[in-house]
Structure 1
Amino acid sequence: MTQLNQRRPTMKDVAAHAQVSLSTVSYVLNDTGPVAPARRRRVLDAVRLLEYAPNESARKLKRRGPSTIGMVVPDLTNQFFAMVTKGVQEAASSRDVLVALVVPTAAELPEERQAELLRSQRVDGVIYLSGTGSIPAAIYEIARSGPVVLVDEQIPGSGLPAVVSTARKGAREVAAHVLAQGHRRVAVISGPPALWTARERLAGYREAFAGAGIDPDSIPVLAGDYEHESGQKLAAQLLSADPRPTALICANDLLAVGAMECCREMGLQVPADVSIIGFDDLPLSVFLTPRLTTVRQPAHEMGLQAASLLFDLLDGSQADTITELPTTLQLRESVCTPGDAV
């Protein structure tokens, strides 16, 4: 309790003490979702022990008048971004705070112009999902007067706090699983090199290759743009090689969907002829045939954490610079032992 007495407890503290997710705390405090009785008791016990006041941030914001936070998200048609956004909106709603949502691709305006429009709304703070791996100057202008929190991306040198996942670890684990099945002719469809997420995932794959005694530079890698059309096109290039790869590791689920479409067009069976691997664990991944082996990122939780961090900063609390949430492997039917494995 000594450390917590130095500052006002947050939802994150309650979640840590009760050993539950931030979303579970939100469900209990706001009665917005089902929670098992034992977990509910742990949350309420933690609230009492820590003397957490759940509505204090909202009251402080309300005293300044109607409050708004901004959120920039590259594309809401991507289920991952949509789930992060839902988490942010849920956390903001619990505090009666409006979310001004900016989607650069929807308005077909440059990211910089969208950021300028957001600044004109005089938002209290911003949650930013970068689609380019950079920060527009207008966002830095906002950061001078209010907090800016990054999600699923770190911008080296920016000094901005971020909520991310253990992407490198997850990538390393799923690549190691593929190798453990006996695959040696492996190829990678990575994400845009400008993005931190893509670099981290590729680094994780390479670590797994090196750990298995395979020269990472011997593995074919083509960079995509995280869209399924890109996965389809790049898979066609990789699967045209002789000998053909027995496994394609894709840096997100949409690339994997494109790769699976390519296999169908080429008359290849997944996973009998080619194993396909994704990353994100989008809801669609369990409806594919076969179901997709992938790495789960807690997208909704990342949104909740980002909003909680933003409100903590608005309240004057100290916050961690980088918050990492764990990834988990989702082993399904799109990976099997290659037919010619030794």
Structure 2
Amino acid sequence: MSGRRRPTMKDVARHAGVSVSTVSYVLNDSGPVAPDRRNRVLDAIRVLEYSPNESARNLKRRSASTIGMVVPELANQFFAMVTEGVQRAASSRDVLVVLVVPDAGHQPEEDQTRLLRSQRVDGVVYLSGTGTAPAPLYELARTGPVVLVDEQLPGLELPTIVCDSRRGAREVAAHVLEQGHRRLAVIGGPPALWTSQQRLAGYREAFAGAGIDPDQVVVLNGDYRQASGSKLARKALCETGGPRPTALLCANDLMAIGAVEACRDVGLRVPEDVSIVGFDDLPFSSLLTPSLTSVRQPAHDMGFQAGTVLLDTLEGRPVGPISPLPVSVELRDSVCPPEEET
């Protein structure tokens, strides 16, 4: 069998005693075929062990067979949920997703993107972990469609699927301020990331609206991981000098969980001594003790829309203006009025 040439549609047609167009109708379910002829074609396919050339079929019908997905890591559940959304969009059109995770491979994002380009995928959904565009991404964008998700990258005018992070940050900060907090600290994300910048801008707008000078609020930048949230919360609470903050605004849920851990390590209660909010509203955030107030992003929907825009582009369908997806503030138990402001 290993030395036998690959059977073709003509071989199937000859074996079944039908035309090549009849075989095509059966394979693509694209035309009427009498039951006896359909059965002969299916028998021939089984006997000859025929399998269609998917790349050729998709090229003929101007659709994709394989797309790429670049995501920083899967340990962050938000990234995993976006990836699931892309996969759902792809599977609905019988398209394969090649997943590239630079962090898992311990390779720089640029090397992984270059590897993806070598695989000749039809298009790419790209979720940046650095806030900068590696050189191979420009090559990908020149040779095929690329859709960005949860990020905007300088120098690249590409379709982008994002949420209204700025509004979400402004609203969750306003909730903290409405509870009476005035001693605040921000644990932000990587400063180069557009999402981090948007969330910080939203916090600052809320501070200014409450009569607080945004430049007087301590801002410490983390990396969206739990360990950095713990480290920076400890620094904000114990090492910055001046009065201890009564509220920590964390730019994602993983860092907020780290901040809760840090409070417990230094003997502070959440929320009685320190209120904490996050961003993303990961599925487990409502199950924590205390349950975490957070900004909900529709991660699955973001991935699904990114995959849909990419596939529509590949199939030549028009893609209209893309608006930011809405967010919502989920109020839970990790915020309460400060016991005192001394």
Aligned to 2:124: 126
Aligned to 2:250: 250
Post-superposition CA distance 1:57-105 (Å, at most 9, x none): xx86673687100000000111000000000001100111000000001
Matching residue within 97, 100, 103 for 2:98: 100
Q: How does 1:21-100 map to 2 (within 5 A)?
A: 63=61, 67-100=65-98
- Work out whether residues 162 and 323 of structure 1, in 8 Å CA contact, stay in contact via their aligned partners in 2: no
Post-superposition CA distance 1:231-262 (Å, at most 9, x none): 10000111114411000000000110000000
1:315 aligns with 2:315: yes
Give the CA deviation at 1:318.
Answer: 3.2
**Aligned residue pairs: how many?**
284
- Work out whether residues 126 and 147 of structure 1, in 8 Å CA contact, stay in contact via their aligned partners in 2: yes
Q: Unpaired runs of 5+ in structure 1?
A: 1-58
Structure 1 Cα separation of the partners of residues 288 and 297 of structure 2: 18
Q: Unpaired runs of 5+ in structure 2?
A: 1-56
Q: How does 1:236-247 map to 2 (within 5 A)?
A: 236-240=234-238, 241-247=241-247
Give the CA deviation at 1:321.
Answer: 5.7
Structure 1 Cα separation of the partners of residues 62 and 204 of structure 2: 50
Structure 2 Cα separation of the partners of residues 202 and 259 of structure 1: 17
SS at match of 1:339: coil
Structure 2 Cα separation of the partners of residues 175 and 322 of structure 1: 27
SS at match of 1:187: strand
Aligned to 1:304: 304
SS at match of 1:100: strand
- Work out whether residues 293 and 332 of structure 1, in 8 Å CA contact, stay in contact via their aligned partners in 2: yes
Give the CA deviation at 1:336.
Answer: 0.2
- Work out whether residues 62 and 314 of structure 2, in 8 Å CA contact, stay in contact via their aligned partners in 1: no
Give the CA deviation at 1:267.
Answer: 0.8
- Shift in CA distance, 330/61, structure 1 to aligned 2, threshold 3 Å: farther
Post-superposition CA distance 1:265-295 (Å, at most 9, x none): 0111000000000000011201210000000
Give the CA deviation at 1:324.
Answer: 0.8
Counterpart of 1:222, as a letter, is L
Counterpart of 1:289, as a letter, is T
Q: TM-score of the superposition, structure 1-length normalised?
A: 0.80
Give the CA deviation at 1:139.
Answer: 1.6
Q: TM-score of the superposition, structure 2-length normalised?
A: 0.80
Post-superposition CA distance 1:282-330 (Å, at most 9, x none): 1120121000000000000000000111011112233246431001000
Q: Which runs of 4+ in 1 moved over 3 A?
A: 59-66, 320-323
1:163 aligns with 2:161: yes
Q: How does 1:211-250 map to 2 (within 5 A)?
A: 211-240=209-238, 241-250=241-250
Post-superposition CA distance 1:11-69 (Å, at most 9, x none): xxxxxxxxxxxxxxxxxxxxxxxxxxxxxxxxxxxxxxxxxxxxxxxx86673687100
- Work out whether residues 58 and 65 of structure 2, in 8 Å CA contact, stay in contact via their aligned partners in 1: no
Structure 2 Cα separation of the partners of residues 207 and 176 of structure 1: 9
- Work out whether residues 160 and 321 of structure 1, in 8 Å CA contact, stay in contact via their aligned partners in 2: no
Identity percentage of aligned residues? 68
